Structure 1
Amino acid sequence: MDEHSSTHPADTTTPADRTALMARHPQSPFRRTVWRTVLPAVAAAGISVAGFTGFAHGSEVGSATADGHSATATKFSRDSSATGSVRQAAAADFPTWGTRWVVHATADANSPAVGMINKTAPGQDRITADYQVDTGRKVCEGSSCSTFMAHLTGPVSGFLSVVAVDIPQDRLPGVPVQGGGGQPQPGGSREEMLNRAATWLTANNGAQVPYSQAKVWKDGYRQDCSGYVSMALGLPTPGTNTVGLATNRGITRPISVGELKPGDLLIDASGDNNTRHVVIFEKWNNDAHSSYTAYEQRGDHGTDHRTLTYGLPGGDAEFKPYRPVKFGD
């Protein structure tokens, strides 16, 4: 498959489009009339965080939480031939309106969904947000418009259009604003990548996304190892292949094993589609660095989060460490 991407044009919503959107998100009688008390500490917090730009809402994909699994040697089909530490911040509380607002892994309109706000009833959920991104791309729902995306810390972690928040403003009052422009900001891109990786552990109605070299998941990415990593990195759908992840210097660069950090990759790019594989490094399991916990999409199982030794002494030596260049280090 060839790589492709889509862009979200600024303020192209027509009156007919807005009517259709309103049919999906019934207008709250309090929309843009309800003021909420915002935690005053947030305004002075000076929170430094990461952000992207974009907006979309639609169908649901499961939320991301996963337990680790113990390691065992397993046989797996690998590749497709088709193609730090977390920073904590204070958060402010807001009401929402309408139904079925999708929360995205990043504020990129093409990023996977990680959950849904007001799944069954208008205003069912309240949200907390620790920062917001001015995307520069106006989104309208009826008479309400905003260019801002809020970064949620609850009830789902991810990005939500401020249009979904039941306040009179086009942005969240008292919540820090980060720059837009569709580029990752320093400090949070590794965490966002791991959050996206975790979504596939429960995206299949609470179960992992099944493995396939031929099929594409709901978010547009192939269901093999390299499609999964492409999704976690936010690359264009349907994703590049394992060779591309290892050799495209616009995506990764080689590093040493001792440099591995959360979100880095271990890649076996040799052989054919039944031998190539890629996994996402999360953390070392001990001070001796004799094993690590990783996310992977593997044959006969699907999405997994488990202990591995690929690329380590005594493990599969074909695996080499790489760092996504988007992390900027």
Structure 2
Amino acid sequence: MYEHSSTHPADTTTPTDQTARTTRRRPPFRRTVWRRVLPTVAAAGIGVTGFAGLAHGSDVGSATTGGQSAATTERAHSVRPAAAADFPTWGTRWVVHATADTGSPAVGMINKTAPGQDRITADYQVDTGRKVCEGSSCSTFMAHLTGPVSGFLSVVAVDIAQDRLPDVPVQGGGQPQPQPGGSRGEMLNRAATWLTANNGAQVPYSQAKVWKDGYRQDCSGYVSMALGLPTPGTNTVGLATDRGITRPISLDELKPGDLLIDASGDNNTRHVVIFEKWNDDAHTSYTAYEQRGDHGTDHRTLTYGLPGGDAEFKPYRPVTFGD
């Protein structure tokens, strides 16, 4: 069910115990409502972008829409325009992110009432395929800012009537494609692309098929894609044993982008998931990206490898992170 096997490439048997396993025009009232809400949000120290969306796909307390994880990253090969266009902003405490992913680290803040921050300049925008919403206004686009802060900002923060910046080039267009190497955040961005790559839906699971990007549609093909390994991807055993790809670590060492792997048994029992974050201080569960049978790409709460969970799963660190 879970991973490709060189000896059983088309086996799609499923173990029964593992099968559980949106052009916007702002209405007249929109700014009035949010200008009243924003001071409260600011006072609470909460970024507006974070206020809008929650992580999606989790089985426990999750929301399946919103903008926590816009699934993309800046691509080095992109040709950027020489000049940037400027646009007015609205509201306060808009988080500017390191990548076109509202789950990526903050690199600054845009506040319309602050000196020099009533306008932004942007040289390109990215269609992430995943909506960020504030009230009734939504956009899937993230703008790459050149000022007053460098980074990525949701187009919802810009005081325009469209869901994208007019006359600003769209980088790549459509769904972002994964690129090899990079940081932990970039790996998670690539993992998130498969959540909506199938015309807004998750990539379906298959041990025999490959997706449009050339990667096998099982768990290890998915992780190979996220890591930027050669297509169609290695298998689960290779992810666990090839020291050019991973090394063993302890559970306490887990960081975003690390892996939990069950490399025992056969292609119907072996599995691998991508660790994103702990869900509590006691480390009783975590949120992970996963390509699973009878569902496809998922982003949910798991306990694989934890006390009381499936003990066959062991933690590993991709060596590409360099730590």
CA distance in 2 between partners of 1:311 and 1:218 (Å): 32
Determine what percentage of the aligned residue pairs are the same residue.
71
Matches within 5 A, 1:1-329: 36-37=85-86, 86-89=105-108, 93-94=121-122, 114-115=128-129, 128-129=143-144, 152-154=152-154, 184=182, 189-329=183-323
Change (3 A) 1:300 1:290: same
CA distance in 2 between partners of 1:262 and 1:295 (Å): 10
Higher relative contact order (CA 8 A, sep 6+): 1
The answer on whether the counterparts of 1:90 and 1:130 sit within 8 Å (CA) in structure 2 is no
The answer on whether the counterparts of 2:216 and 2:222 sit within 8 Å (CA) in structure 1 is yes
CA distance in 1 between partners of 2:311 and 2:254 (Å): 16
The answer on whether the counterparts of 2:210 and 2:232 sit within 8 Å (CA) in structure 1 is yes
CA distance in 2 between partners of 1:214 and 1:285 (Å): 34
CA distance in 2 between partners of 1:64 and 1:34 (Å): 23
Shift of 1:128: 2.5
The answer on whether the counterparts of 1:93 and 1:127 sit within 8 Å (CA) in structure 2 is no
* Deviations 1:210-258 (CA, angstroms, capped at 9, x unpaired): 1000011111111000011111111111111111111111111100011
The aligned amino acid for 1:88 is: V
Change (3 A) 1:33 1:326: closer
Change (3 A) 1:89 1:129: farther
The answer on whether the counterparts of 2:85 and 2:168 sit within 8 Å (CA) in structure 1 is no
The answer on whether the counterparts of 2:98 and 2:152 sit within 8 Å (CA) in structure 1 is no
CA distance in 1 between partners of 2:141 and 2:287 (Å): 34
**Structure 1 residue runs without a partner (length 5+):** 3-9, 11-30, 40-46, 51-62, 66-83, 104-113, 117-124, 132-149, 157-163, 167-181
- Equivalent position SS for 2:240: helix
The aligned amino acid for 2:239 is: L
The aligned amino acid for 1:274 is: N
CA distance in 1 between partners of 2:106 and 2:126 (Å): 24
Shift of 1:90: 5.9
Shift of 1:94: 2.6
TM-score normalised by length of structure 1: 0.51
Change (3 A) 1:90 1:254: same
CA distance in 2 between partners of 1:216 and 1:195 (Å): 20
CA distance in 2 between partners of 1:280 and 1:35 (Å): 37
**Structure 2 residue runs without a partner (length 5+):** 6-76, 89-95, 111-119, 131-139, 157-166, 170-179
CA distance in 2 between partners of 1:218 and 1:202 (Å): 13
Change (3 A) 1:32 1:128: closer
Change (3 A) 1:192 1:223: same
The aligned amino acid for 1:223 is: Q
The answer on whether the counterparts of 1:95 and 1:127 sit within 8 Å (CA) in structure 2 is no
CA distance in 1 between partners of 2:191 and 2:252 (Å): 22
- Equivalent position SS for 2:85: coil
